[in-house]
Structure 1
Amino acid sequence: MIEENLLLDHGARKIPFSKGDQLFREGESALNFYQVASGEVKMNNYNEDGKEFIQGIFSAGESFGEPPLLANVKYPANAEAINDAEVFQLSKEQFLELLTSNPQVHLKITETLAKRLFYKAIMASEISSQEPEHRILRILDYLKNHVHKTEGKFSFRVDLTRQQLADLTGLRVETVIRATKSLEKKGELEIRKRKLYR
């Protein structure tokens, strides 16, 4: 999203994280802007029973955690490296200076936040009321059309595990497995070498 050189020019540090490392925890103060350089990071919560709910997965070039940073509130979720990753970290003061001096970057950040609000609105209504198959198709279609911008039937390869899909939709992994098999029979998905295609 923000060019690496621009981040570095404004004082960003590129920090390595190993799989499972926490970048920040729910309830901590938001002090930095983060953008993935390589690898993947997820933002998640756990309910009282210890079930994980993934708020989002972010890969190279994507930023995360901006709303609490800009709103001066604490993080509503954890950030954790899904695999070995490198992440740019820029202090809030330096980030705000970058935005002020680069209006086009500011606009990009605003557009990204608007898209995330759109996603959250869709998922909130889906998770509260819809059947598992519908929830799965909705998240896959969002990823296909709005994130990866892929066209054509079965052209989008889903690089999420069944567990990650469960955590993104608030379902149990067993339910995801059953629902995806049912969706394949209905011609909504294809399963090739254990990978889903939409």
Structure 2
Amino acid sequence: MKTISCMKIDEQLLKSYSAENKTYKEREAIFREGESPSFYFQIIEGSVKLNNYNDEGKEFIHNILGKGQSFGDPLLFIDKQYPVNAVVLKPTTLIRVPRKNFINLIKENPHISLELNACLSHRLYYQTIMMQNMASQNPLARIKGLFNYLKSYSDCEDTHSFNIKLTRQQIADLTGLRVETIIRTIKKMEKDNLVKIKDRKICY
């Protein structure tokens, strides 16, 4: 079954609705938990993580996004504050559209609205599957749930065609597992041909 990648809106169309490019430095926050949504964000170059912290200060990473991917858009349609932070992992350039202008773009371009609905539904589906796997005590189920969720944002369909652009530590943070458990389980996945390792990079 073909996956639906995270929707990328044409940059010229975005600019016709007063979009602007903005560059961020490593570790700079794009927005913080509790702030009100003001923009649609789409990554031109770089990498962004969505995270928050529990009462004990432990970080939980919800997702790591890269070139061509958007984030924060679901909250533009409801009166809610951000439940996560968006933090830059490496120097990043975004294109962003003010909330009101983005709503107008959707209204005036129905095909974008349909694509956005499909993208959001797809994300919700895979997020639900991932959460079910995260409840498992089996490390393999947790890691596969995460990898399937990340792969759902791409156009990769074939086995071993998707590059997991995460460190072992980031995978541990996303799954709530120890780094040692991640390393051991991924080695077993490689042995069982569930992944291939090329120059320490994981292909799923």
Say if 2:172 is the partner of 1:166: yes
Q: C-alpha distance in 2, partners of 1:92/1:11?
A: 11
Partner of 2:134: 127
- Picking from 37, 42, 46, the partner of 1:35 is 42
Relative to structure 1, the CA distance from residue 90 to residue 162 in structure 2 (aligned partners, 3 Å threshold; closer, same or farther) is same
Partner of 1:45: 52
Partner of 1:155: 161
Partner of 1:143: 150
More helix by share: 1
Deviation at 1:106, TM superposition (A): 1.3
Q: CA RMSD in A?
A: 1.7
Q: C-alpha distance in 1, partners of 2:107/2:46?
A: 29
Aligned residues: 197
Please show how residues 36-75 of structure 1 align to structure 2 within 5 Å: 36-75=43-82
Deviation at 1:180, TM superposition (A): 0.9
- Unaligned runs of 5+ residues in structure 1 are none
2:143–2:175: 8 Å Cα contact kept in structure 1?
yes
Larger relative contact order, structure 1 or 2 (CA cutoff 8 Å, min sep 6): 2
2:31–2:87: 8 Å Cα contact kept in structure 1?
yes
Q: C-alpha distance in 1, partners of 2:12/2:21?
A: 11
Partner of 1:98: 105
- Unaligned runs of 5+ residues in structure 2 are 1-7
Which amino acid counterpart does residue 177 of structure 1 have in structure 2? I
- Deviations along 1:167-190, one digit per CA (max 9) or x if unpaired, are 222222222112112222333223
- Picking from 68, 80, 83, the partner of 2:87 is 80
Aligned-pair identity (%): 41
Partner of 1:114: 121
Structure 2 SS opposite 1:139: helix
Say if 2:29 is the partner of 1:22: yes
Structure 1 SS opposite 2:135: helix
**TM-score, normalization: structure 1?**
0.91
Deviation at 1:130, TM superposition (A): 4.2
Q: C-alpha distance in 2, partners of 1:74/1:142?
A: 24
